[in-house]
Structure 1
Amino acid sequence: MSFQYAQRGSLSIWLVPLMLALLIMLVGVLQHGQMQRQSWTRQITVDHLALSAGVLLAREMNILAMTNRALLANQLVVSQLIGIASWFEMLRTSTTRTATISAWVPGLNAVTRQIALIVRQSQQPVEQLVRAGIIMQKAITTALSSMQTLVRASFAVMIPATLTDIAKLHTSEPFEFDILHSPTLLPFPLLWWSFIRPRHTGNDDSALLTRMQASMDPFSQHRTYSWFDFFALKIIKTGGTEVTVDKRGRWHWQGLDTLSLHLRAFWSWQELPWGEGARQQQRIDKVERDAFGKSRHYNPRAVSWALSTQRTIQSGQRIYYFDRPQLATEKAPSVFVRSGSAVAKAGIRFYRPQSLFARSDNRLEKANLFNPFWEGQLQSLTQLDRQLLLRQDALEDNQR
């Protein structure tokens, strides 16, 4: 019996080192798992922060795009108001002459005289409403331009604060991180502010003017058509609204409308002006052949009469906005979010889904700041990004 007890004791002595070794291995595995879990949590948190930064940058771009479109729409309203004023002046002159010519026709003279009186009495209230509308549109334009500046400043402050709040939702421990620009590692938002710069209609190479001319409605583009055409008599109505830019970059809208009778006399046509009107924000000195709905081509004499009686309604305005010529997403500065060894990169892209917002010409739309189709996305680190990050790590180690 004593031999058996001695044998059991010797086995238990040999099991102690083995159990100790297993315990040490278990503790090591648990510590490694804890470190791995912390590393994964840190990387996931950094990924979420970077993606959130990209989404916020895209939202800023979308707000700028919508306000830029609002600026164009606001100017379109001004062009319509000027067009209405010139069209109404043409209506007044044409009805007045109609009443004068028909004064000797019994029955008809009372009708034409009453119509002319109503139009003449309505002209002043209409022009007052037009003036008030233009003043209101100027105030709206100024407010939109100021709003863009405030949006840029507010997003620069909001993005770091928002990322801090998001980090608190991922971990209860203090989470320190840096927001940098790719690929220069400059602090945010230095490159972002320099990428989208403020512009105005005096230094943008007529970029906004080109978009405005392409966005004009049919009423503003041309109001030219034939009212009557039979053998030796034609009645042609012409008109349109144009915009000119002075040396200070201010936009001035000009409206011109004419109505003429054309009588055929042997081998030529003779024009008899019947109505004309011109209202503008800057005096119309010269009318090109294709301007104002080709008014000078069809009714040259009525155009001369309209220019001699033109009237100014308010003045023009210089438009301030944010844009970048030849905007390319691959040149847009991305954002690094870095916390320790965990790094994530995010940026923006322009994507217009054809299934939801199809273009009439079915063409692929390039990136621009006039359509709100920007979205944020995570991006892969390039070789240059890795080299810059390693170099920064080395500098930080040397400073320590």
Structure 2
Amino acid sequence: MKFTVRKVAGASRRSVRGQAVIWLMGTMVACAAILYGVFNTAQITVAKQRTVNAADAGALAGATVQARVLNLAAYNNRAMMANEAFLIQMLSIESWLQYFGTTADNFGTLADIVGIFIPPIKIIGQILDKLADATEKAHDMLVKADDKAVIPLIETAKWGLAQAHTVVIKGGGVLAEDAATKVVDANRTHFGNHEDVGVEIDKRPKVRAATFALNQTRWWNFTRQYSANERQDSKEVVLNSRDGFSTSRKGEWYLNLNAGLVGTEKNGGSVLKGFDRWETQDTLEIWEKVPCKSGMCKEYQPIGWGRSNADPDGSSGDVWEPKRWAQKLAHSDATSHGGNSGKFSNWTGVPNVFDVRDKAADARAGLGVDFIVATRKSRAAVLTTDQMGIGQDTPAVTGSADMKERAEADQYTALAKARVFFERPQRGLLNDKTANPLWRPDNAKEYGSLFSPYWQARLTDLTAVEKGELLLAMDMLPDKILYTPGGQK
């Protein structure tokens, strides 16, 4: 049987007409879905990165403010120590002038007596008398300066700095929060009177309890004021701030002669008794060896002496060892002619200063204070296709066009922590071209205190506990500790 196939051209074209349109529409739908996905992913990624950047910047800003507050306190503490060093310098000069005056006066009297028999010596006596008078006048002027100006000014500065420290240090935590908030707010877009929602500090009560309250508690507990018998560190700093003259005045070799049977001995310096009294003293004695029960003993005679004290009550203080005649004269005769102007009152002692609270040896290496910030950005503030009304869910035979993004707690969040720490530059740091003026002369490792202004800030990682508490406060499940950045240590 034979079959004949007839080709109908027009019918073939009609059977394939519209297929390209179907493929085009399908491709456009797929492209639209991809475009929506890429656009939404980009918007969400940018929103998340801005939230993270704002949290990091806020935490670092807050910690930097706290570091600057600690450095300000350190500079002010140094200023108070410098004032105390100046006071002991003035008292030492006053004591030395009195000693020099009594020495010149005594030698002048001796020269006047000898000058009766040896006339040329009388001229020396007259010169020494005039020198003693000039020294006494200089001493009296210095006494008035110390009494009327130096001590009152030092005490006023001490009181003022103590009050300022109380305000600044106690308020340092609030200043840090303000700086962090302003830095985070700066990440918002401002145009005229319009300000978008943008990133913000998470101020919900539970979150603030886990950030603001924690930050303030850590800050308040990091430092404290040391007073009364707790001022040992301040006392050591004051004592170490003295120069050689105000520390010890043993005198040159010619004031400490030893000719065998006769000689001279010069003593002097300053002593801080307890925390509230300075004693400065100078003595010059001549000695000779005389027979005694043990053989030959030195017998001392005073030549010159001087004394100056400062304490709250203007007391005479103690007789210095070895309590010979010269030391007793210095104790009882605070000025060159028996006055009391060399016994200063109204000096309140070693300053009460703020310093770090924890001075335990095992805490020194990691000494610091942390500052935490939590930021958030509402999902509604992110311009995605859903927020623009594109891809809304409308019932149709072709299916749903629902393309809503998902965000836990309906927000994008970020956590950041910065640490305020102490580090003084040390020798040998690679590529460090600017720190050499800050090196310690002894190259020792220096630990943190409020006597050195080397506090700084850096970002650091949250602990797993901190992160878990913050996630719960932000209405999020704490399982994200395991697979989100931070909190692994």
What's the TM-score, normalizing by structure 2?
Answer: 0.72
Instruction: Report the equivalent of 2:419.
Output: 347
1:12-61: CA deviations, max 9, x gaps? Answer: 12321221122122112111110111101110111111111111111111
1:261 aligns with 2:286: yes
1:222 aligns with 2:248: yes
Instruction: Report the equivalent of 1:303.
Output: 327
SS of the residue 1:317 aligns to: coil
- Where in structure 2 are the equivalents of 1:314-393 lying within 5 Å? 314-318=345-349, 319-323=351-355, 324-326=357-359, 328=364, 330=366, 332-340=368-376, 341-355=413-427, 356=436, 357-393=438-474
1:281-302: CA deviations, max 9, x gaps? Answer: 243443454xxxxxx3xx8321
In the TM superposition, residue 182 of structure 1 has moved relative to its aligned partner by: 11
Contact 1:260–1:274, Cα closer than 8 Å, also in 2: yes
**Number of positions where the alignment pairs a residue of Structure 1 with one of Structure 2:** 384
Instruction: Report the equivalent of 2:193.
Output: none
Distance 2:319 2:126 in 1: 37
Contact 1:183–1:384, Cα closer than 8 Å, also in 2: no
- Where in structure 2 are the equivalents of 1:1-400 lying within 5 Å? 2=10, 3-4=12-13, 7-103=16-112, 104=115, 105-131=121-147, 132-172=149-189, 173-174=196-197, 175-178=199-202, 186-200=213-227, 202-204=228-230, 206-225=232-251, 226=253, 227-231=255-259, 232-245=261-274, 251-265=276-290, 267-282=296-311, 283-287=315-319, 289=321, 296=322, 300-310=324-334, 311=340, 312-318=343-349, 319-323=351-355, 324-326=357-359, 328=364, 330=366, 332-340=368-376, 341-355=413-427, 356=436, 357-394=438-475
Contact 1:261–1:272, Cα closer than 8 Å, also in 2: yes
Distance 2:371 2:448 in 1: 19
1:202-261: CA deviations, max 9, x gaps? Answer: 04152322332233221222111341525143222211111223xxxx622111111111
Query: Is the alpha carbon distance of 1:118 and 1:146 closer, same or farther for their aligned partners in structure 2, counting shifts above 3 Å?
Result: same
Query: Is the alpha carbon distance of 1:253 and 1:228 closer, same or farther for their aligned partners in structure 2, counting shifts above 3 Å?
Result: closer
Query: Is the alpha carbon distance of 1:214 and 1:76 closer, same or farther for their aligned partners in structure 2, counting shifts above 3 Å?
Result: same
Among the aligned pairs, what percent are the same residue? 23
Contact 1:181–1:191, Cα closer than 8 Å, also in 2: no
Distance 2:139 2:48 in 1: 76
In the TM superposition, residue 199 of structure 1 has moved relative to its aligned partner by: 2.3
Contact 2:421–2:455, Cα closer than 8 Å, also in 1: yes
Letter in 2 for 1:243: L
In the TM superposition, residue 106 of structure 1 has moved relative to its aligned partner by: 3.1
Contact 1:181–1:333, Cα closer than 8 Å, also in 2: no
Distance 2:352 2:286 in 1: 44
Distance 2:290 2:346 in 1: 43
Higher helix share: 1
Distance 1:183 1:288 in 2: 59
What's the TM-score, normalizing by structure 1?
Answer: 0.87
Contact 2:319–2:328, Cα closer than 8 Å, also in 1: no
1:303-337: CA deviations, max 9, x gaps? Answer: 01111213412332152221124164746441111
Query: Is the alpha carbon distance of 1:178 and 1:252 closer, same or farther for their aligned partners in structure 2, counting shifts above 3 Å?
Result: farther
Instruction: Report the equivalent of 1:293.
Output: none
Query: Is the alpha carbon distance of 1:99 and 1:337 closer, same or farther for their aligned partners in structure 2, counting shifts above 3 Å?
Result: same
In the TM superposition, residue 81 of structure 1 has moved relative to its aligned partner by: 1.6
Higher relative contact order (CA 8 A, sep 6+): 1
Query: Is the alpha carbon distance of 1:203 and 1:123 closer, same or farther for their aligned partners in structure 2, counting shifts above 3 Å?
Result: closer
Contact 1:237–1:257, Cα closer than 8 Å, also in 2: yes
In the TM superposition, residue 97 of structure 1 has moved relative to its aligned partner by: 0.7
SS of the residue 1:186 aligns to: helix
Structure 2: gaps of 5 or more residues: 1-8, 116-120, 190-195, 335-339, 377-412, 428-435, 479-489
Distance 1:83 1:64 in 2: 29
Find the structure with the greater CA-based Rg.
2
SS of the residue 1:80 aligns to: helix
Letter in 1 for 2:239: Q
Query: Is the alpha carbon distance of 1:260 and 1:313 closer, same or farther for their aligned partners in structure 2, counting shifts above 3 Å?
Result: same
In the TM superposition, residue 352 of structure 1 has moved relative to its aligned partner by: 0.8
Query: Is the alpha carbon distance of 1:92 and 1:178 closer, same or farther for their aligned partners in structure 2, counting shifts above 3 Å?
Result: farther
